[in-house]
Structure 1
Protein backbone atom coordinates (compact mmCIF):
# COMPACT_ATOMS: atom_id res chain seq x y z
CA UNK A 1 0.00 0.00 0.00
CA UNK A 2 1.37 3.39 -0.96
CA UNK A 3 1.48 6.40 1.37
CA UNK A 4 -1.24 8.01 -0.78
CA UNK A 5 -3.47 4.95 -0.43
CA UNK A 6 -2.91 4.94 3.35
CA UNK A 7 -4.04 8.59 3.45
CA UNK A 8 -7.13 7.73 1.44
CA UNK A 9 -7.95 4.90 3.84
CA UNK A 10 -7.53 7.30 6.78
CA UNK A 11 -9.82 9.79 5.02
CA UNK A 12 -12.43 7.04 4.57
CA UNK A 13 -12.23 6.25 8.28
CA UNK A 14 -12.52 9.84 9.56
CA UNK A 15 -15.26 10.89 7.15
CA UNK A 16 -17.13 7.67 7.90
CA UNK A 17 -16.83 8.29 11.64
CA UNK A 18 -18.02 11.88 11.28
CA UNK A 19 -20.93 10.84 9.07
CA UNK A 20 -21.87 8.12 11.57
CA UNK A 21 -21.92 10.49 14.53
CA UNK A 22 -24.02 12.97 12.57
CA UNK A 23 -26.33 10.23 11.28
CA UNK A 24 -27.00 9.08 14.84
CA UNK A 25 -28.27 12.56 15.68
CA UNK A 26 -30.48 12.69 12.59
CA UNK A 27 -31.79 9.15 12.95
CA UNK A 28 -32.61 8.83 16.63
CA UNK A 29 -30.88 11.14 19.12
CA UNK A 30 -32.87 14.24 18.21
CA UNK A 31 -36.07 12.20 17.94
CA UNK A 32 -35.56 10.94 21.49
CA UNK A 33 -34.73 14.39 22.79
CA UNK A 34 -37.77 15.86 21.03
CA UNK A 35 -40.11 13.40 22.76
CA UNK A 36 -39.31 15.13 26.03
CA UNK A 37 -41.07 18.27 27.25
CA UNK A 38 -39.53 21.36 25.66
CA UNK A 39 -37.81 22.34 28.92
CA UNK A 40 -36.08 18.95 29.18
CA UNK A 41 -35.30 18.86 25.46
CA UNK A 42 -33.68 22.31 25.48
CA UNK A 43 -31.71 21.51 28.64
CA UNK A 44 -30.52 18.19 27.21
CA UNK A 45 -29.38 19.78 23.96
CA UNK A 46 -27.58 22.52 25.88
CA UNK A 47 -25.78 19.83 27.90
CA UNK A 48 -24.87 17.89 24.75
CA UNK A 49 -23.49 21.05 23.18
CA UNK A 50 -21.34 21.74 26.26
CA UNK A 51 -19.90 18.23 26.00
CA UNK A 52 -19.40 18.62 22.24
CA UNK A 53 -16.99 21.47 22.92
CA UNK A 54 -14.60 19.12 24.68
CA UNK A 55 -11.52 17.47 23.22
CA UNK A 56 -13.09 14.25 21.91
CA UNK A 57 -15.27 15.90 19.29
CA UNK A 58 -12.57 18.50 18.66
CA UNK A 59 -10.14 15.70 17.84
CA UNK A 60 -12.59 14.14 15.38
CA UNK A 61 -13.27 17.51 13.74
CA UNK A 62 -9.54 18.24 13.50
CA UNK A 63 -8.97 14.84 11.90
CA UNK A 64 -11.92 15.45 9.59
CA UNK A 65 -10.15 18.58 8.38
CA UNK A 66 -6.51 17.48 8.45
CA UNK A 67 -6.72 13.99 6.94
CA UNK A 68 -8.86 14.87 3.89
CA UNK A 69 -6.77 18.01 3.33
CA UNK A 70 -3.54 16.00 3.45
CA UNK A 71 -5.08 13.42 1.13
CA UNK A 72 -6.09 16.12 -1.36
CA UNK A 73 -2.63 17.66 -1.20
CA UNK A 74 -1.03 14.28 -1.85
CA UNK A 75 -3.44 13.75 -4.74
CA UNK A 76 -2.65 17.14 -6.28
CA UNK A 77 1.13 16.78 -6.07
CA UNK A 78 1.12 13.11 -7.03
CA UNK A 79 0.17 11.21 -10.13
CA UNK A 80 -2.16 8.64 -8.60
CA UNK A 81 -5.00 7.43 -10.82
CA UNK A 82 -8.38 8.76 -9.69
CA UNK A 83 -6.85 11.58 -7.70
CA UNK A 84 -9.72 13.88 -8.68
CA UNK A 85 -12.00 11.71 -6.56
CA UNK A 86 -9.83 12.35 -3.52
CA UNK A 87 -9.83 16.09 -4.16
CA UNK A 88 -13.63 15.99 -4.54
CA UNK A 89 -13.92 14.02 -1.29
CA UNK A 90 -11.83 16.60 0.55
CA UNK A 91 -13.86 19.49 -0.90
CA UNK A 92 -17.15 17.87 0.11
CA UNK A 93 -15.77 17.20 3.60
CA UNK A 94 -14.57 20.75 4.16
CA UNK A 95 -17.63 22.46 2.66
CA UNK A 96 -20.36 19.97 3.45
CA UNK A 97 -19.36 18.66 6.87
CA UNK A 98 -17.20 21.35 8.46
CA UNK A 99 -18.61 24.34 6.58
CA UNK A 100 -22.22 23.41 7.27
CA UNK A 101 -21.35 22.82 10.91
CA UNK A 102 -19.79 26.29 11.13
CA UNK A 103 -22.54 28.22 9.34
CA UNK A 104 -25.59 26.17 10.33
CA UNK A 105 -25.39 24.05 13.44
CA UNK A 106 -22.93 25.98 15.60
CA UNK A 107 -24.80 29.32 15.34
CA UNK A 108 -28.04 27.55 16.29
CA UNK A 109 -26.29 25.86 19.22
CA UNK A 110 -24.94 29.21 20.38
CA UNK A 111 -28.38 30.84 20.14
CA UNK A 112 -29.88 28.05 22.23
CA UNK A 113 -27.07 28.38 24.78
CA UNK A 114 -27.64 32.16 25.11
CA UNK A 115 -31.43 32.10 24.95
CA UNK A 116 -33.16 33.89 27.78
CA UNK A 117 -36.08 31.51 27.22
CA UNK A 118 -34.57 28.17 26.05
CA UNK A 119 -37.99 26.50 26.08
CA UNK A 120 -39.37 29.06 23.62
CA UNK A 121 -36.16 28.89 21.54
CA UNK A 122 -36.41 25.09 21.31
CA UNK A 123 -39.45 25.38 19.05
CA UNK A 124 -37.43 27.49 16.58
CA UNK A 125 -34.26 25.42 17.01
CA UNK A 126 -34.96 21.79 16.30
CA UNK A 127 -36.23 21.85 12.68
CA UNK A 128 -33.48 24.03 11.20
CA UNK A 129 -30.83 22.25 13.29
CA UNK A 130 -31.99 18.90 11.93
CA UNK A 131 -32.10 20.20 8.35
CA UNK A 132 -28.48 21.38 8.64
CA UNK A 133 -27.54 18.10 10.30
CA UNK A 134 -29.15 16.02 7.53
CA UNK A 135 -27.11 18.02 5.01
CA UNK A 136 -23.81 17.50 6.79
CA UNK A 137 -24.61 13.81 7.33
CA UNK A 138 -25.22 13.35 3.61
CA UNK A 139 -22.03 15.29 2.84
CA UNK A 140 -20.02 13.04 5.16
CA UNK A 141 -21.43 9.91 3.53
CA UNK A 142 -20.78 11.32 0.06
CA UNK A 143 -17.20 12.26 0.98
CA UNK A 144 -16.60 8.77 2.35
CA UNK A 145 -17.86 7.31 -0.93
CA UNK A 146 -15.69 9.65 -3.00
CA UNK A 147 -12.63 8.60 -1.03
CA UNK A 148 -13.58 4.93 -1.55
CA UNK A 149 -13.75 5.54 -5.31
CA UNK A 150 -10.34 7.27 -5.13
CA UNK A 151 -8.89 4.25 -3.33
CA UNK A 152 -10.35 1.85 -5.87
CA UNK A 153 -9.10 3.98 -8.78
CA UNK A 154 -5.59 3.97 -7.29
CA UNK A 155 -5.57 0.17 -7.29
CA UNK A 156 -6.14 -0.14 -3.56
Structure 2
Protein backbone atom coordinates (compact mmCIF):
# COMPACT_ATOMS: atom_id res chain seq x y z
CA UNK A 1 0.00 0.00 0.00
CA UNK A 2 2.78 2.43 0.95
CA UNK A 3 4.72 1.41 -2.16
CA UNK A 4 1.74 2.19 -4.40
CA UNK A 5 1.11 5.53 -2.66
CA UNK A 6 4.73 6.53 -3.23
CA UNK A 7 4.46 5.56 -6.89
CA UNK A 8 1.24 7.55 -7.41
CA UNK A 9 2.61 10.56 -5.50
CA UNK A 10 5.75 10.52 -7.63
CA UNK A 11 3.62 10.52 -10.79
CA UNK A 12 1.55 13.48 -9.53
CA UNK A 13 4.74 15.37 -8.55
CA UNK A 14 6.14 14.78 -12.05
CA UNK A 15 2.97 16.24 -13.58
CA UNK A 16 2.97 19.18 -11.14
CA UNK A 17 6.64 19.93 -11.82
CA UNK A 18 5.94 19.85 -15.54
CA UNK A 19 2.98 22.22 -15.23
CA UNK A 20 5.07 24.66 -13.18
CA UNK A 21 7.97 24.39 -15.64
CA UNK A 22 5.58 25.23 -18.48
CA UNK A 23 4.22 28.30 -16.70
CA UNK A 24 7.72 29.57 -15.93
CA UNK A 25 8.91 28.74 -19.46
CA UNK A 26 6.13 30.89 -20.92
CA UNK A 27 7.14 33.84 -18.77
CA UNK A 28 10.85 33.65 -19.60
CA UNK A 29 10.31 33.06 -23.30
CA UNK A 30 7.51 35.40 -24.33
CA UNK A 31 5.67 37.14 -21.50
CA UNK A 32 8.64 39.05 -20.09
CA UNK A 33 10.12 39.85 -23.52
CA UNK A 34 6.69 41.19 -24.56
CA UNK A 35 6.43 43.31 -21.41
CA UNK A 36 9.93 44.61 -22.14
CA UNK A 37 8.77 45.87 -25.55
CA UNK A 38 6.09 48.18 -24.17
CA UNK A 39 6.58 51.47 -22.35
CA UNK A 40 8.02 50.88 -18.85
CA UNK A 41 4.92 52.31 -17.14
CA UNK A 42 2.72 49.86 -19.06
CA UNK A 43 5.03 46.91 -18.42
CA UNK A 44 5.21 47.71 -14.71
CA UNK A 45 1.44 48.08 -14.43
CA UNK A 46 0.93 44.77 -16.23
CA UNK A 47 3.45 42.97 -14.01
CA UNK A 48 1.88 44.45 -10.91
CA UNK A 49 -1.46 43.04 -12.04
CA UNK A 50 0.08 39.66 -12.88
CA UNK A 51 1.72 39.43 -9.46
CA UNK A 52 -1.66 39.94 -7.80
CA UNK A 53 -3.64 37.58 -10.01
CA UNK A 54 -1.06 34.77 -9.89
CA UNK A 55 -2.08 34.15 -6.29
CA UNK A 56 -5.02 31.95 -7.25
CA UNK A 57 -6.08 28.39 -6.41
CA UNK A 58 -4.98 26.87 -9.73
CA UNK A 59 -1.45 28.20 -9.69
CA UNK A 60 -0.99 27.72 -5.96
CA UNK A 61 -2.15 24.10 -6.20
CA UNK A 62 0.40 23.38 -8.94
CA UNK A 63 3.24 25.39 -7.38
CA UNK A 64 2.87 24.81 -3.65
CA UNK A 65 1.00 21.51 -3.95
CA UNK A 66 4.00 20.09 -5.80
CA UNK A 67 6.25 21.43 -3.05
CA UNK A 68 4.18 19.63 -0.40
CA UNK A 69 4.39 16.43 -2.45
CA UNK A 70 8.15 16.90 -2.72
CA UNK A 71 8.46 17.17 1.06
CA UNK A 72 6.58 13.91 1.40
CA UNK A 73 8.59 12.27 -1.37
CA UNK A 74 11.89 13.35 0.15
CA UNK A 75 10.85 11.63 3.37
CA UNK A 76 9.34 8.65 1.56
CA UNK A 77 12.37 8.13 -0.66
CA UNK A 78 13.91 6.02 2.11
CA UNK A 79 11.67 3.14 0.92
CA UNK A 80 13.59 3.04 -2.35
CA UNK A 81 16.87 4.63 -1.23
CA UNK A 82 18.84 1.43 -1.76
CA UNK A 83 17.93 1.59 -5.44
CA UNK A 84 18.42 4.21 -8.16
CA UNK A 85 14.73 5.05 -7.99
CA UNK A 86 15.07 6.27 -4.38
CA UNK A 87 18.10 8.39 -5.14
CA UNK A 88 16.36 9.93 -8.16
CA UNK A 89 13.25 10.58 -6.09
CA UNK A 90 15.23 12.33 -3.36
CA UNK A 91 17.22 14.37 -5.89
CA UNK A 92 14.08 15.42 -7.80
CA UNK A 93 12.43 16.53 -4.56
CA UNK A 94 15.46 18.53 -3.45
CA UNK A 95 15.86 20.18 -6.86
CA UNK A 96 12.25 21.34 -6.83
CA UNK A 97 12.32 22.50 -3.21
CA UNK A 98 15.66 24.31 -3.38
CA UNK A 99 15.93 25.60 -6.94
CA UNK A 100 12.25 26.28 -7.59
CA UNK A 101 10.65 27.13 -4.24
CA UNK A 102 13.87 28.43 -2.66
CA UNK A 103 14.77 30.67 -5.63
CA UNK A 104 11.20 31.95 -5.75
CA UNK A 105 11.15 32.96 -2.10
CA UNK A 106 14.71 34.28 -1.92
CA UNK A 107 14.93 36.08 -5.26
CA UNK A 108 11.74 36.40 -7.35
CA UNK A 109 9.40 37.39 -4.51
CA UNK A 110 11.66 40.25 -3.28
CA UNK A 111 11.87 41.53 -6.86
CA UNK A 112 8.07 41.33 -7.12
CA UNK A 113 7.73 43.15 -3.81
CA UNK A 114 9.99 45.94 -5.08
CA UNK A 115 8.03 46.37 -8.31
CA UNK A 116 4.71 46.25 -6.44
CA UNK A 117 5.29 49.52 -4.59
CA UNK A 118 6.62 51.74 -7.38
CA UNK A 119 4.52 54.27 -9.19
CA UNK A 120 4.83 53.16 -12.84
CA UNK A 121 5.18 56.67 -14.32
CA UNK A 122 8.30 57.74 -12.37
CA UNK A 123 11.88 57.80 -13.67
CA UNK A 124 12.96 55.59 -10.76
CA UNK A 125 10.33 53.04 -11.77
CA UNK A 126 11.70 52.95 -15.32
CA UNK A 127 15.22 52.30 -14.02
CA UNK A 128 13.97 49.63 -11.63
CA UNK A 129 11.98 48.05 -14.46
CA UNK A 130 15.06 47.60 -16.66
CA UNK A 131 16.90 45.78 -13.84
CA UNK A 132 13.75 43.83 -12.96
CA UNK A 133 13.32 42.53 -16.51
CA UNK A 134 16.85 41.12 -16.56
CA UNK A 135 17.09 39.83 -12.98
CA UNK A 136 13.56 38.45 -12.63
CA UNK A 137 13.75 36.69 -15.99
CA UNK A 138 17.14 35.16 -15.17
CA UNK A 139 15.91 33.72 -11.88
CA UNK A 140 12.66 32.64 -13.49
CA UNK A 141 14.70 30.72 -16.06
CA UNK A 142 16.52 28.99 -13.19
CA UNK A 143 13.10 28.03 -11.76
CA UNK A 144 12.05 26.78 -15.20
CA UNK A 145 15.11 24.55 -15.53
CA UNK A 146 14.74 23.28 -11.95
CA UNK A 147 11.08 22.39 -12.38
CA UNK A 148 11.77 20.64 -15.68
CA UNK A 149 14.72 18.76 -14.18
CA UNK A 150 12.62 17.69 -11.20
CA UNK A 151 9.97 16.38 -13.61
CA UNK A 152 12.58 14.36 -15.52
CA UNK A 153 14.07 12.98 -12.29
CA UNK A 154 10.62 11.91 -11.06
CA UNK A 155 9.91 10.19 -14.38
CA UNK A 156 13.27 8.44 -14.29
CA UNK A 157 12.55 7.31 -10.72
CA UNK A 158 9.28 5.78 -11.92
CA UNK A 159 10.98 4.11 -14.88
CA UNK A 160 13.76 2.76 -12.67
CA UNK A 161 11.22 1.49 -10.16
CA UNK A 162 9.17 -0.19 -12.87
CA UNK A 163 12.26 -1.92 -14.23
CA UNK A 164 13.27 -3.21 -10.78
Structure 1 length-normalised TM: 0.92
Alignment of 1:87-126 (within 5 A): 87-116=90-119, 117=122, 118-126=125-133
Distance in 1 (alpha carbons) for counterparts of 2:15 and 2:158 = 12
Q: Report deviation, 1:34.
A: 1.1
In structure 1, stretches of 5+ residues that fail to align are none
SS in 2 for 1:2: helix
* Aligned residues of 1:11 and 1:144 also touching (Cα < 8 A): yes
SS in 2 for 1:53: coil
Mean Cα deviation higher: 137-146 or 78-87: 78-87
Distance in 2 (alpha carbons) for counterparts of 1:21 and 1:58 = 12
* Aligned residues of 1:14 and 1:67 also touching (Cα < 8 A): no
> CA RMSD for the aligned pairs?
1.6
Distance in 1 (alpha carbons) for counterparts of 2:116 and 2:63 = 21
Alignment of 1:54-133 (within 5 A): 54-76=56-78, 78-79=79-80, 81=83, 82-116=85-119, 117=122, 118-133=125-140
| Regions of 4+ moved over 6 Å | none
Structure 2 residue 54 is matched with structure 1 residue 44: no
Structure 2 length-normalised TM: 0.88
Q: Report deviation, 1:3.
A: 2.0
CA deviation digits over 1:99-133, x for unaligned, max 9? 00001111000000112443332122110001100
Distance in 2 (alpha carbons) for counterparts of 1:36 and 1:44 = 10
Mean Cα deviation higher: 56-65 or 4-13: 56-65
